[in-house]
Amino acid sequence: MDKRVKYFIKHNENIISTSQFVELGFTKPTLAKYVRSGELERITHGIYAIPNTVIDDMFILSLRCKHAIFSHESALFLCNLSERTPFKLTVTIPSNKMLPLSMRNTCDCFYITPDLFNIGVIERKTTFGNIVRCYNAERTICDILRSRSRIDEETVVAALKNYARSKEKDVFRLYEYSKKFKVSTQVRDYMGVLL
C-alpha cells in the first residue's frame, strides 16, 4: 500500500472513505485492488478500513452523511443523559436534504426546517474516542418532547431527571430553545416538578 494512504488511514482511526482516497490522488480501481489484496476491507458503502479494525458505528455514519447530526436517543447518550447505548442510531437532517438510500435501514431519521437545524450543535466523543456532531442537552430535551409519540416514555422521563440533576444544565437556554421548538409548556411542566 502507498505510504500516503497508510499515513492517512493511520491518522484517521484506520478508516478511509472513497472520496478521501480519491482526494489523495488515487483512483477507485486502485482502491478496489487494495480490497482484493486484503490490505483494506469494505465496511459499508464508500467506507474502508484496515482489516480487523473495531468499527465505531457513530463515526462511520457521520462520515457517510456529513449533513446528519446525532439527535434524540443518540444525543441523550452522547450528552450523558442516558445510560443506555441506543439500539438504533438517530440523526436529524435538514428538510431540504435526503438521507442516502443506502443508510435508511441503519438509522432513524428526523427532518427539521433548515432555520432550526443548526441550533444547539456541539461536538462530542463517541465511546471509541472519535469526534461526532450532536445536539446539546437543551436541544435534545426539546427534540424528545417534540417527538414523544416516537420515543419510549421511560426514556423521556429518565432523560429529564438526568438533565435536572446535571451540573452542566443551562435552564435559561432550555427555555429559550423550548420557545423556538414550541414545547415551552411541556418544559415548564416537567422542570417545575423536577427542579
Instruction: Check whether residue 16 and residue 63 sit in a common domain.
Output: no
User: 52-93 pLDDT, tens per residue?
Assistant: 988 899 999 998 888 999 999 999 999 999 988 888 999 999
Q: What is the mean pLDDT of residues 111-121?
A: 97
Average pLDDT of every residue of the chain: 92
User: 180-195 pLDDT, tens per residue?
Assistant: 999 999 998 887 777 5
Q: Of 104 and 188, which is predicted with more confidence? A: 188
Residue-level pLDDT at 98: 86
Instruction: Check whether residue 94 and residue 138 sit in a common domain.
Output: yes
Distances (CA, A) of 88 to 104, 122, 165, 181: 11, 21, 26, 24
Residue-level pLDDT at 100: 80
Q: What range defines the domain where residue 35 resides?
A: 3-55
Q: What is the mean pLDDT of residues 95-114?
A: 89
Report how far residue 53's alpha carbon sits from residue 50's, in angstroms, rounded to the nearest whole number: 6
Instruction: Check whether residue 70 and residue 162 sit in a common domain.
Output: yes
- Indicate the residue among 21, 40, 55 that finishes a domain: 55
Residue-level pLDDT at 183: 95
Instruction: Check whether residue 18 and residue 77 sit in a common domain.
Output: no
**Side chain identity at 91, as an amino acid letter?**
V
Residue-level pLDDT at 42: 94
- Name the nearest CA neighbour of 123 among 181, 73, 175, 58: 58
H or E, element range at 184: helix 184-194
Instruction: Check whether residue 49 and residue 105 sit in a common domain.
Output: no
- Indicate the residue among 12, 39, 55 that finishes a domain: 55
Residue 77 in grid coordinates: 447518550
Residue-level pLDDT at 195: 57
Instruction: Check whether residue 16 and residue 62 sit in a common domain.
Output: no
Strand-strand pairing, 41-44 and 47-49: antiparallel
Instruction: Check whether residue 31 and residue 48 sit in a common domain.
Output: yes
What percentage of the chain reaches a pLDDT higher than 70? 99
Instruction: Check whether residue 104 and residue 48 sit in a common domain.
Output: no
Instruction: Check whether residue 112 and residue 189 sit in a common domain.
Output: yes
Per mean pLDDT, which range of 137-146, 157-166, 183-192 is the poorest? 183-192
Instruction: Check whether residue 15 and residue 71 sit in a common domain.
Output: no
CB 81 within 8 A of CB 137: yes
User: 29-56 pLDDT, tens per residue?
Assistant: 999 999 999 999 999 888 999 999 888 9
Domain count, the chain: 2
- Indicate the residue among 12, 29, 55 that finishes a domain: 55
Instruction: Check whether residue 29 and residue 99 sit in a common domain.
Output: no
Instruction: Check whether residue 116 and residue 95 sit in a common domain.
Output: yes
pLDDT band at 106; cut points 50, 70, 90: confident
